[in-house]
Structure 1
Amino acid sequence: MSASPVLSVKNLTTSFLVDGEWKQVVRNVSFDVHPGETVAIVGESGSGKSVTSLSIMRLLSPASSRIEGEVLLSGRNLLSLPESEMRGVRGNDVSMIFQEPMTSLNPIFTIGRQISEVLTRHKGLSKQEARAETVRLLEKVRIPNASSRFDEYPHQFSGGMRQRVMIAMALASKPKLLIADEPTTALDVTIQGQILDLIKILQEEEGMSVLFITHDMGVVAEIADRTIVMYRGEQVETGPTEDIFHHGKHPYTRALLSAVPKLGSMQNHAWPTRFPVVDMATGEAAEPVEVAGTITGGKTPVLAVKNLVTRFPIRSGLLSRQTGAVHAVENVSFDLFQGETLSLVGESGCGKSTTGRSIMRLVEPTAGDIQLDGYDVRRLDQVSLRGMRKSVQMIFQDPFASLNPRMTVGTAIAEPFIKHKLGTAKQAKEKTADLLEKVGLSADMAKRYPHEFSGGQRQRIAIARALSLDPKVIVADESVSALDVSIKAQVCNLLLDLQQNLNLAFLFISHDMAVVERVSHRVAVMYLGEIVEIGPRAAVFDNPQHPYTKKLMAAVPVPDPSRRGIRRGISNDELKSPVRDMDYQPPKREYREVSAGHLVQVG
């Protein structure tokens, strides 16, 4: 390793002004990043990892923040530079890419203009030279038809392609160091795989150092030479990535690692299995416990969906005539039994969330048959629809959006019970206290408001609210995808326990293959509005048949540092569009039965 690091951080301490007092949020962080090296800072929300990167770049407001210590870039202390000099460092010597590219790209300027501006400002290139270099950069980050996409706007690019544009912009001035702050968190797993591969390839080509900030230990294993673990503003462990993974000493490091679901770890388990929970005092993990089910298989399903179709019209022109349709769900059929978890898995735009919403008639299906706990869902009037919703409840990805910020959580949980006239106000209060205890919170929390809870606690409150009507079916729509890894494990364990105790049926909608493998009895893989493979969890995961299922599994980051040099070779194709012309007739699909209940779409 080179004697002189590209970046040397010494005793970095960052404080924020809170109610007139300085509060330390990052304390005494020290590390080096050497030429060509990738260092990962890993930790969960509130650990201080992003504040560390923003402090290095001096992107925090000087009025409300104070940064102490030293940040040496090639020997020059960035913390002592005047702001005018610091502007020359940003985007030139050090570049940064963020989690959400749409917040970093200006929607009113073309992609080409935004990258060219970096080149004309930092490199002094002419307009013509900047255009040629921009096209070269877009090609370098594997954007197809780069020259024709120069004049397109950010909204014309998918999330993954926008992130590539951000990387192209970051590379424009050939920086010594790239800081990547959660650059793949918001992306689908196959797109995440492409971006990780791309960063590795570009790093080799450019000889660039990378400081990679993430909460995902699978990503850390794939990309980092060395790892810094942060917890509550402090670095609790630092070392080569292999050592951290195989000989992690701090209880928090072990907690992070044990909470990461590993694809293929369910081969010896017949039933959905709890995540191991680590004791933060000792670092010891409890053994994973199978949650034996009570599925009433051969009997009548609690939910039966046949040939479900949901399309959204596309209108254009002066008279807003329909010119096409988004074929969001196309001919989807499945059964769900009491006490069972069926997972719908696939990438953004595959139709899995629309399927869940169509079942509850939160969106109106175009065709098909939905039988739910004795209700013919598509034929219900508004009064009957309200009655049906006692049988099925939904948990969403963002609990904060589904809870009224002006309502105490006790009132929010009791509201469905009171609205459906299921009992008195006193009974509603007792029910609320019982539900809060059931989801691992205390009854006295009922008086608090949503903003007084963490994200994981808010999701527990949303689960309690969904349970207030004693439903038989719960549609969990990406209900754990926004949570930190250890909180995700806790909420998944809670759902498994509730299922066992209350005999609930879950339609679990997710894009996270490793979580799906852990919690499911059966799995349905969706692609472009259709189910392409469905079957028992073990059959689908141990013997995937459809090319798209195989592609999804190959893209999942594996928390094993020995695989760091591996390139997945995932194609750079984007998910195809479900938009169709008015006269489009979907092809008739046929399914082949591979083994008992394991069906795969043919052709």
Structure 2
Amino acid sequence: MNTAAKIIPSADPVLSVEKLRTSFVVDGEWKPVVRDISFTVAPGETVAIVGESGSGKSVTSLSIMRLLQADTSRIEGKVFLGGRDLLALPEHEMRKVRGNDVAMIFQEPMTSLNPLFTIGDQISEALLAHNAMSKAEAKAETIRILEKVRIPSAASRFDEYPHRFSGGMRQRVMIAMALATKPKLLIADEPTTALDVTIQGQILDLIKMLQEEEGTSVLFITHDMGVVAEIADRTVVMYRGEQVETGDTADIFHRGQHPYTRALLSAVPVLGSMQPYQRPLRFPVVNTSTGESDVPVEVADTVAAGEPILQVKNLTKRFDIHSGLFGKLSGRVHAVENVSFDLRAGETLSLVGESGCGKSTTGRAIMRLIEPESGSVLVEGREVLALDKKDMREMRKSVQMIFQDPFASLNPRMTVGAAIAEPYLEHKMGDAKQAKEVVADMLVKVGLTPDMAKRYPHEFSGGQRQRICIARALALRPKVIVADESVSALDVSIKAQVINLMLDLQQELDLAFLFISHDMAVVERVSHRVAVMYLGEIVEIGSRADVFGNPQHAYTKRLMSAVPVPDPERRRIKNSAVVEELKSPIRPVDYKIMPMQYREVSPGHLVAES
């Protein structure tokens, strides 16, 4: 570990926000969504604004940048940057400030990068817009910046398009673009939320390093308290548009006063906290009004002995790559290779790994949403891969899937009641009257009310929409649920509620869960067994206690070491180990896979031989 030198803030802040108030027009009236926010950011300092979706943190950053639509928003108060009030500047002056004095990194880089222009051209454009330099000078500077943010072979990738980069690489390009003009202030709005833990660790280390070298001030917006602990000097906690607590990050974590601050901290799963427990553990339920939380309790073990309900043997899925004028087969993506595992009633088996490791493809192949090349998938003893279309429909009553994005899974023109009833009626499990009763029962089961059946998806929060997707999956009374990153996009407290719901339903209905995730801290909390995937293959599998208590494979250790730890003492500590991006799973057409060899560390704990 290397500890970076602490930059001592000077007396004059780079950014000073005084009584910021932002309102939007709702039904002809001005409705305030951010109320009287005040804070400062000193030179070289990182200030985090933390809160859940709807707390007003992103609106605060957009107000500072004046990026809200002028005719439907109103920004009041004062925002001083280097002594100038940004809210008083004419628009043509503000355009000079954006990207030059203040730069912003957004959560989803593909919404910020133009897919029609190369990476090099987009960064050069920012340099040419704010500096007097030639195109050749802009290109040379762009390559230097890309090298600085650790883009390998930067010169050769100057002319590549955004879709040729991975998610982590695209986010580095966004950082390069933001830092190209050496701004005084960098606003990072949830820049790591959608990234895997290892890539997230790289991005946080990169921001720390660049801040150390350039002395840039950072305003970091997030809902992840683990990230806050790793990067922030001071923290502002927001709740329902108001600033409820602000102070030194260590004080916030150790001596947080406001109930909502304590509620946020209580909802963060900490890797290693499960060691005293033998079975999955419910998250503590926290009252955001009082900050009081109940004592987390172990979930009663419902894993049945006997034959597994789901058996996967040597499952393989490859995607052909065609190139050239005539579309000649030039290679294959080896997405899933010889994957095998069992799942019993009442058990949760978690598939973990980074994006591109094949875990979601495994889930889809089991459901035959994509057709695997070879292997065997048995559900209650029946071979799924041999079923015809009619029998597959029947099988899907037993195995249901919950996807990551609930909004994309729900028809926006269909009420949630109709969405939950649709599979029930399609499978002819009852008539319309019975379906209505099932919908009401399912909504109650997932913590909603029957009268909500008449509403549309856009009238619900993200956590509520995920509950609706769970209700729809349960309507068919399945035996197995494949949960594909089903809580990854949710805020910490909503994530805790949804996971508690899944654990309660598992106990009540004896459900088997195949839980697909890259969040190691959550996986540790909810799993009976864990399988770690790397480049399409399982490299380690065993009980939760074995895999987390005694990890053997280098990749398993790497995943665990990258998990943010909610401990402010780690602030400004960079990992000394170089974390590489996941290698490409693309292989030549004639590539021969060598069968994976495993050694048994302890009963049921298998590790791939390297």
Q: Which amino acid aligns with 2:385?
A: R
Q: For 1:155 and 1:422, locate their aligned partners in 2 and report how far apart those are by CA, in whole Å.
A: 44
CA distance in 1, matches of 2:503, 2:202: 33
- Mapping 1:447-466, distance limit 5 Å: 447-466=454-473
Aligned partners of 2:198 and 2:579 also within 8 Å: no
Return the alpha-carbon distance in structure 2 between the equivalents of residues 572 and 521 of structure 1: 28
**Is the CA contact (8 Å cut-off) linking 2:146 and 2:154 kept in structure 1?**
yes
1:341 aligns with 2:348: yes
Deviations 1:372-427 (A, max 9, x none): 01321011001111111111111111112112222221221122222212223222
1:364 counterpart = 2:371: yes
2:518 corresponding residue in structure 1: 511
Amino acid at match of 2:18: K
Whichever residue aligns with residue 57 of structure 2, its letter is K
Whether the 8 Å contact between 1:375 and 1:388 is mirrored in structure 2 is no
Q: 1:440 is matched with which residue: 432, 443, 447?
A: 447
Match runs of 1:109-508 below 5 Å: 109-297=117-305, 299-508=306-515
Does the 8 Å CA contact 1:142/1:572 hold for their aligned counterparts? no
Q: 1:9 aligns with which of 5, 11, 17?
A: 17
Give unmatched runs, 5+ long, in structure 2.
1-8
Supply the distance in 2 between the matched residues of 1:421 and 1:166 (Cα, whole angstroms). 50
**Does structure 1 retain, via aligned residues, the 8 Å contact 2:194–2:489?**
no
Question: How far did residue 137 of structure 1 move?
Answer: 1.0
Partner of 2:80: 72
Alignment pair present for 1:41 and 2:28: no
1:572 Cα offset (Å): 4.7
C-alpha distance in 2 between matches for 1:468 and 1:203 = 51
Question: Which deviations, in whole Å up to 9, do the C-alpha atoms of 1:28-67 show, x marking residues without a partner?
Answer: 0000000110000001111110110011011111111111
- Cα separation, 1, equivalents of 2:95 and 2:416: 46
- Distance (whole Å) between structure 1 residues aligned to residue 146 and residue 442 of structure 2: 53
Question: Equivalent residue for 1:568?
Answer: 575
Q: What is the count of residue pairs matched by the alignment? A: 602
- On the 8 A contact 1:296/1:337 being kept in 2, the answer is yes
State the alpha-carbon separation in 1 of the partners of residues 461 and 333 from structure 2.
Answer: 37
CA RMSD of aligned residues (A): 1.1
Distance 2:329 2:142 in 1: 38
Question: Could you list the per-position Cα deviations for residues 322-342 of structure 1 after superposition, in whole angstroms to 9, with x for gaps in the alignment?
Answer: 322211110000000010000
Work out whether residues 190 and 570 of structure 1, in 8 Å CA contact, stay in contact via their aligned partners in 2.
no
Q: What residue identity is the alignment partner of 1:206? A: E
Shift of 1:470: 0.9
Cα deviations by residue, 1:535-593 (Å, 9 ceiling, x for unpaired) = 00010001111111111011110011011132113425221111112101111210011
- 1:512, distance to aligned residue in structure 2 (A): 0.6
Q: By how many angstroms is 1:269 displaced?
A: 0.7
**Kept after mapping to 2: 8 A contact 1:373/1:391:** no
Q: CA deviation at 1:121?
A: 2.2
Instruction: Note the alpha carbon deviations across 1:208-236, whole angstroms, 9 max, x for none.
Output: 11000011100000000000000111111
Q: Secondary structure at the match of 2:573?
A: coil
**Percent identity (aligned):** 76
CA distance in 1: counterparts of 2:323 and 2:140, whole angstroms: 36
Q: Please say if residues 369 and 376 of structure 1, whose CA atoms lie closer than 8 Å, have aligned partners that are also in contact.
A: yes
SS at match of 2:362: helix
| Kept after mapping to 1: 8 A contact 2:314/2:375 | yes
| Cα shift at 1:140 | 1.1
Shift of 1:19: 2.2
Given residue 588 of structure 2, which amino acid in structure 1 is its aligned partner?
D
Q: Determine whether 1:59 maps to 2:34.
A: no
Q: Match of 2:236, SS?
A: strand
* Residue identity in the other structure for 1:180: A
Residue 309 of structure 1 aligns to a residue in which SS? Answer: strand
C-alpha offsets along residues 173-202 of structure 1, whole Å, 9 cap, x if unaligned? 111111111111111110110000000011
What residue is the counterpart of 2:4 in the other structure? Answer: none
Contact 1:194–1:570 (Cα < 8 Å) also in 2? no
Contact 1:397 1:478 in 2 (8 A): yes
Instruction: Please give the alpha-carbon distance, in whole angstroms, between the structure 2 residues aligned to 1:426 and 1:134.
Output: 64
Q: Which residue of 1 aligns with 2:3?
A: none
Q: Could you tell me how far apart the structure 1 residues matched to 2:234 and 2:38 are?
A: 13
1:456-475 alpha-carbon deviations (Å, 9 max, x no partner): 11111111110111111000
Letter in 2 for 1:399: P
Q: Secondary structure at the match of 1:593?
A: strand
Structure 1 residue runs of 5 or longer lacking an equivalent are: none
Distance 2:61 2:213 in 1: 24
Q: Which residue of 1 aligns with 2:564?
A: 557
Output the amino acid matched with 1:519. V
Q: Quick one: distance in 2 between partners of 1:86 and 1:426? A: 60
Mapped to 2, the partners of 1:294 and 1:572 lie a distance apart of 38
Tell me, in whole angstroms, the C-alpha distance in 2 between the residues paired with 1:473 and 1:567.
Answer: 41
Answer whether contact 1:12 1:69 (CA < 8 A) is retained.
yes
Cα distance in 2 between the residues matched to 1:119 and 1:141: 16
Which residue number in structure 1 is paired with residue 543 of structure 2?
A: 536
CA distance in 2, matches of 1:140, 1:421: 60
Cα distance, 1:20–1:412 mapped onto 2, change above 3 Å: same
Distance 1:321 1:423 in 2: 50
Amino acid at match of 2:594: P
> By how many angstroms is 1:444 displaced?
1.6
Per-residue CA deviation, residues 51-99 of structure 1 (Å, 9 max, x unaligned), is 1001101111111111100000011101101111111111111111111
Cross-structure match for 2:6:
none
- The alpha-carbon deviation at position 370 of structure 1 amounts to 0.8
1:522 is matched with which residue? 529
Q: Deviations over 1:338-377 (max 9, x none)?
A: 1000000011111101101111111101000111013210
Paired with 2:441 and 2:110, the residues of 1 have a C-alpha distance of 43
Counterpart residue type for residue 228 of structure 2 = V
8 Å Cα contact 1:193-1:570 kept in structure 2: no
Mapped partners of 1:413, 1:116: distance in 2 = 50
Task: Tell me the secondary structure at the aligned position of residue 304 of structure 1.
Answer: strand
Give me the whole-angstrom Cα distance separating, in 1, the residues matched to 2:400 and 2:363: 10
Q: Distance in 1 between matches of 2:424 and 2:112?
A: 44
